[in-house]
Amino acid sequence: MRLLSLIKHYWLPLTLFTVVAIATLSLWPAASLPQVPGTDKTHHFIAYGLLMLPTALKKPKGWLYIAFAFIAFSGLIELVQPYVNRYGEWLDMLANILGLLCGIFVAKLVEIFADFSYKKSQ
């Protein structure tokens, strides 16, 4: 579980990096972005799941407020996109919220598995 310890230790820089990456990619002109497999909604889902995962694993004080801040960030991005030659879609925000929830769910599964593995090794 070395990776889990690293993620928990570096949760804040990982989260800030992901916020910057999401903001940059979301506001960059779409025509100059490379084509990647999957749908737009899939990309949103994965990005916001990855955004939530380190925070949900670490669970710092007020971590659920951080999740709501990510939702607000998502909405802000969707509102700003039309001003930078992109299209803001509320379905993107739904995909973002579902990604955040998935990040929380995956963190809970990791926590259960880690706890089970620890108890089994005792």
- 70-118 pLDDT tens trace: 999 999 999 999 999 888 899 999 999 999 999 999 999 999 998 887 7
- Name the token pair of 106: 């995956």
- 21-74 pLDDT tens trace: 999 999 998 888 888 899 999 999 999 999 999 999 999 999 999 999 999 999
pLDDT of residue 99: 99
The answer to pTM > 0.85 is: yes
pLDDT of residue 29: 87
Nearest to 99 by CA among 36, 37, 56, 35: 56
Burial 85-115 (b: 16+ CB within 10 A, else e): ebebeeebbebbbebbbbbbebbeebeeeee
Provide the domain count of the chain: 1
Domain with 11 in it? 2-29+37-121
pLDDT of residue 1: 62
pLDDT of residue 95: 98
Query: What values do phi and psi take at 17, rounded to 5?
Result: -60, -45
If pLDDT is split at 50, 70 and 90, which confidence band does 119 have?
confident
Q: Which residues contact 77 (CB under 8 A, 6 or more apart)?
A: 22, 23, 26, 27, 88
